[in-house]
Chain A
Amino acid sequence: MKLFLLIASLIFSSYILTWAQPITEYWLQARMNGVYELENGGQVQFWGFGDNTPPNPGNKVFIPGPTLRFTQGDSAIVHFQNNSPEMHTIHFHGLDANQANDGVPHTSLEIAPNLTFDYSFNCTNAGTFIYHCHVLTTLHVAMGMYGLVIVDPSSGPGTLVDNGTSYQQEFSLLSSEFDLDWNNNPISPGPFHLFEANYLMLNGKSGTQLHDGEHDIVSSVGDHFALRLANIGYGKTIFQWPSSVSAQIILSDGRPVPTMPNVSEVSLYPGERYDLLMNGNLAIDSFLTASYYDLRNLNLIGTNTVPLKIGDVSITEMETERLRIWPNPVTGSFNIVNPQSFSIEYQIINLEGKELQHGMLWPGNNKIDCVLDRGIYFVYTTQSLGFLKFMVL
């Protein structure tokens, strides 16, 4: 009888364990034939990661690679296919994978051309992380083989930690660098200690490429926004913003920061991440600045700027008493609450004002199937109920 209870208990507990750790999967591929469009219009080659999701895997790689998004408590599986002529791995930087899944050639294994490997690890903590190739790392990272991993708290997107302050918008900036001489000659780039960062990037873009409207940080007075910062470069990147924008460090390297200090700038050394909760106190049309320093002598190499715009009306606050959308940001289907006792029409439009979806909202909660790409959208209604801004991840 005792044995039966023990076995039943083990079966039940393993069921609970399985139930408690949903599996989230991604499919990534590596290629060494990327073509990067430089800010000046020229081109260089890069190596990188791209989407490989069946049944229609892509055939391109990107800088940075696709962002992998998980929820705290997930069991993560990343199916990796090496579509290149050289060895590669994936190291999940900060996710504390076990030795077999650590992506280090001399302690685990490297993935040969045209072979696959399934990496697995547990997402035990929320925060921002990095993935990168760990083969001949000085060269492979310099050539572009990296991307971001974001782990939402177990309650999902919208806060940086469980029971944390809600944010209404979310932005991520990954700092990195090219030595363009290496991109032009990766077969024989010269002594590896002589890497010279001469092309500075945020999210794989540089200079005026960051001013094309797609990289703007847009929020409103009264809103909070999350800013996830990461540095995979070889130098120090200092991020600064206007003094009218408040910032509090919530997480660093995927762990809560004990005192959650308020800061006016942060310095990210190689491999570090900071998750900030920010809010604009005044309406501004300004910039966030990233300054890149060579760690060998602390010389300033250069800067990038990202438009930082704080609107004067809190869209979310204004509409809270009327329409409500949840969750926000949106990752799949979402809900719009119509507080009226009658049905109203709604439209979903993008930032250019183009209508993408419309329909009726019944009184109370309305579940909406999301068919939108990642981005920022608005819900308009016809009954003077105003509008709601939301983000699709």
Chain B
Amino acid sequence: MRFRFLLLLQLSIVTQVFSLTLYMKTDSYQIGTVNTFRSVLSQQPSMELQAAPFYVDLNTSLTIDIINLDTIAHELQWNDFASGMVLSPLGSVTLTRTFDQQKVYALVASDFSAKTLGGSFAIIAGLPAAHRYYWNLYDLQTNISAPIANQSLQDFPNPYRPNLFTINGYDYPLNMNDSLGIVNGQVGDSIYITVLNAGNMTHTLHFHGFHFKILSSTKNPFQVGWQKDSAPVLPQDGMILLIVPDKAGSYPVHDHNLTAVTTAGGYSGGMMTMLNIAP
């Protein structure tokens, strides 16, 4: 039974926003032929799989209320901090933070259940308002999702053989209506793509058509500043990528671990999205 009262979102309508309310919830959903559980941390109390990130200007301070709608406890941490916080069953926690660097500040679940089921939320600081896109990457071996959700399974399986790979909650081509993730830009645009790996393994994104510049990465600072066409996104890393298209056309972006461009073992599917560039 969930605690389902809806707090008013304390979002200001002026540009500087000082508070934010997030809801943690775990539920099952159907994706194609696959039924699975997922933990979602987002601004809505409903199970929104395509959950938008939150953009802030540099040096914004936020008070964040996090409400646990699940009847089990969870733990959360910032992906750049080692220490976490406990979110008791149906309880809440309030935290504050100032965002002073251009990077992804990711709140990620750190208890085994919600971490494995992808509970995560991105606060992105310092990006221009135009041409911003968001990819929340995720993978799961779905036949163990129910015991993970009810906490009867506490250990990661070895071997781990994920059969579901998604961007913003959906696999290709179900994600082709994803307004957060499908890039619709123009030649010459500076397009900022934020990637958060909420999954359980490293995903290597390969861009067709264009090289991207890695503007920031929390878990892989070695490659910050590099221009790449293929780069690893480590688990729980948040990265900001920049492309400036020099030609028009439609170009895929996909995981180049080719076991991940599948869904339930079928090709094509999984972790793939599109860059649509107008002249």
A residues bordering B, Cβ < 8 Å?
91, 93-94, 96-100, 102, 104, 106-107, 136-139, 141-142, 190-195, 234-236, 252-255, 257-259, 261, 269-273, 294-297, 299
Contacts and interface: CB of A to CB of B under 8 A. Distances in A.
10 residue pairs, one from A and one from B, having the closest CB atoms: A191-B265, A99-B249, A271-B230, A271-B256, A270-B256, A255-B227, A269-B232, A138-B258, A269-B204, A192-B262
A137 B208 contact: no
* Residue from A235, A257, A273 whose CB has the most chain B CB atoms within 10 Å: A257
Contact of A136 (B204, B211, B232, B267): B267
Contacts of B210: 96
Interface of B: 156, 158-163, 201-202, 204, 206, 208-211, 222-223, 225-232, 247-252, 255-262, 264-268
A139 B202 CA distance: 21
Nearest to A270: B256
B247 A98 contact: yes
Contact of B259 (A234, A255, A299): A234
* Most B-side CB within 10 Å, residue of A98, A190, A269: A269
A136 B262 CA distance: 10
10 contacts: A102-B208, A192-B262, A192-B267, A193-B260, A252-B223, A255-B228, A269-B231, A271-B230, A295-B202, A295-B257
Given A138-B261, A254-B229, A296-B162, A99 B202 contact: no
A99 B231 contact: no
Contacts of A138: 258-259, 261-262, 267
B260 to A, nearest CB: 8
Contacts of B158: 297, 299
A192 B259 contact: yes
A193 B160 CA distance: 11
A193 B252 CA distance: 20
B202 to A, nearest CB: 5
A104 B268 CA distance: 12
B267 A137 contact: yes
Contacts of A236: 202, 232
Contact of A296 (B159, B229, B251, B256): B159
Given A96-B211, A192-B259, A234-B259, A272 B264 contact: no
A96 B204 CA distance: 17
A294 B257 CA distance: 10
Contacts of A194: 161, 259, 265
B226 A235 contact: no
Contacts of B222: 261
B251 A102 contact: yes
A191 B270 CA distance: 13
Nearest to A141: B258
Contacts of A257: 226
Given A99-B251, A192-B258, A273-B230, 5 more contacts: A138-B259, A190-B265, A258-B225, A270-B206, A296-B259
A302 to B, nearest CB: 15
Contacts of A102: 208-209, 249, 251
A138 B262 CA distance: 8
B247 A137 contact: no
Contacts of B247: 98
Contacts of B228: 252-253, 255, 272
A141 B266 CA distance: 15
Contact of A192 (B162, B202, B225, B266): B266
A137 B258 contact: yes
A253 B258 contact: no
B252 A104 contact: yes
B251 A195 contact: no
Contacts of B258: 137-138, 141-142, 192, 195, 234, 270
A368 B156 CA distance: 64
A359 B173 CA distance: 65
Contact of B250 (A107, A254, A295): A107
Q: Most B CB atoms within 10 A — which of A106, A190, A259?
A: A106
B216 to A, nearest CB: 14
B139 to A, nearest CB: 8
Given A141-B258, A191-B265, A252 B226 contact: yes
A272 B210 CA distance: 14
A98 B211 contact: no
Chain A CB within 10 Å, residue with most, of B230, B248, B252, B268: B230
Given A252-B228, A257-B226, A271 B206 contact: yes
A334 B125 CA distance: 56
Contacts of B162: 193, 296
Contacts of A91: 208
Given A255-B228, A270-B257, A99 B204 contact: no
B249 A193 contact: no
B1 to A, nearest CB: 35
Contacts of B161: 193-194, 296
Contacts of A100: 249
B226 A258 contact: yes
Interface centre among B156, B229, B231, B232 (most CB of A within 10 A): B229
